[in-house]
Amino acid sequence: MIAVLDTSAILSGKFHSGMADRVVTSPSVINEFSEGGHSWRLMQYLRDAGMEVIAPPESAIEEVLKAARVTGDIENLSEADIEVLAVAFHLKGSKLFTDDYAMQNVASHIGIDYESILQEGIKKKLYWKYRCSSCGRFAEPGTEICPVCGGKIKRVRWK
């Protein structure tokens, strides 16, 4: 599998070269990184690991622009977004890694396989318990005063 990375995928820091046979991005994506700093290091790390920088052919850019006009996402796409979509469109057997919804929308419209990096996942469920701040006994939800010592009951996060 050829992994095509957009800026968000690189910035996530979660992608590593072992996840694909080839790792590719586009020149405009590289240009979005300014030298130095944490973001730059994330990008440089992937380049050192063999990430290729490929400019897509004009015909692929045209296809992406056409699709983006149809889906109405064109206003939400940067030059780098369009370019990297075109790289994914151009390279057979590639998968686009992006967390950008507009890009994902255009990708699905023109048959580009894509995957999110920062999966939202299942929102972590919070558990609460009610506990006396003086003696530490647990109390029923809604209790304000500890029935044992008269202390104040507080809601505490559990797990």
Who's near 18: CB < 8 A, 6+ residues apart?
Answer: none
Question: Cβ closer to Zn ion: 21 or 144?
Answer: 144
Question: Cβ closer to Zn ion: 27 or 151?
Answer: 151
CB of 145 vs Zn ion, minimal distance in Å:
9
CB of 159 vs Zn ion, minimal distance in Å:
22
Q: What number of helices (H) and strands (E) belong to the chain? A: 6, 8
CB of 152 vs Zn ion, minimal distance in Å:
8
CB of 130 vs Zn ion, minimal distance in Å:
11
In 17-126, the DSSP E strands lie at 22-25, 52-53, 94-97, 113-115
Counting every residue written for the chain, the total comes to 159
CB of 135 vs Zn ion, minimal distance in Å:
3
Burial of 10 (0-12, 13-18, 19+ CB in 10 A): buried
User: Which secondary structure element, helix H or strand E, spans residue 157, and what is its range?
Assistant: strand 153-158
Who's near 101: CB < 8 A, 6+ residues apart?
Answer: none
Question: Cβ closer to Zn ion: 18 or 142?
Answer: 142
Question: Cβ closer to Zn ion: 14 or 129?
Answer: 129
Question: Cβ closer to Zn ion: 118 or 148?
Answer: 148
Who's near 128: CB < 8 A, 6+ residues apart?
Answer: 141, 155, 156, 157, 158
Residues forming contacts to Zn ion in the complex (CB under 5 A) are: 132, 134-135, 146, 148-149, 151
